[in-house]
Amino acid sequence: QVQLVQSGAEVGKPGASVKVSCKASGYTFSAYYMHWMRQAPGQGLEWMGIINPSGGTTSYAQKFQGRVTLTTDTSTSTVYMELSRLTSEDTAVYYCAKDPGGVGVAHYDYWGQGTLVSVSS
């Protein structure tokens, strides 16, 4: 069965960076894009970016351009999300979510359990 298992909670200082991992299993890792979303306290979900595990091509939401970096390690079927220049507004639960593949789709068929990132001095 498809599983996306994310790394544990992180605490980062303002101005620093944080890196969250998402390990996939149960499907052909390189065949499906992976997305990242986040949910700040009391707010809705927010799409951050997408990576093609086969080749590493990425696309980011304009809001996060220059601050977020998605990478992939096909040898361990793991995708990483690194967010730099942290501020208190980056305190949120971060999710990875698998793209189901195909043309003309815009949904996510499996999600990770979420990783809480807290920014505090």
Residue ranges in 2-21 that form contacts with another protein under rule CB under 8 A: 4
By the rule CB under 8 A, 94 interacts with another protein: no
Minimum separation from the CB atom of position 23 to another protein (A): 14
By the rule CB under 8 A, 108 interacts with another protein: yes
Q: Coil, strand or helix: which one is 71?
A: strand
Query: For another protein, which stretch binds (CB under 8 A), given 18-26, 67-75, 76-84, 102-110?
Result: 102-110
By the rule CB under 8 A, 89 interacts with another protein: no
Q: Which residues pair with 97 in a beta bridge?
A: 35, 111
| Member of 7, 10, 19, 45 binding another protein (CB under 8 A) | 45
Q: How far is CA 46 from CA 2, 22, 54, 77, 120, in A?
A: 23, 17, 24, 24, 21
Type and span of the H or E element at 19: strand 18-25
**Judged by CB, which is closer to another protein: 14, or 101?**
101
By the rule CB under 8 A, 61 interacts with another protein: yes
Task: Report how far apart the first and last C-alpha atoms of the chain are (Å, whole number).
Answer: 40
Count of Cβ atoms closer than 10 Å to residue 25 Cβ? 11
Binding stretches for another protein (CB under 8 A): 4, 37, 43-47, 61-62, 95, 97, 100, 104-114
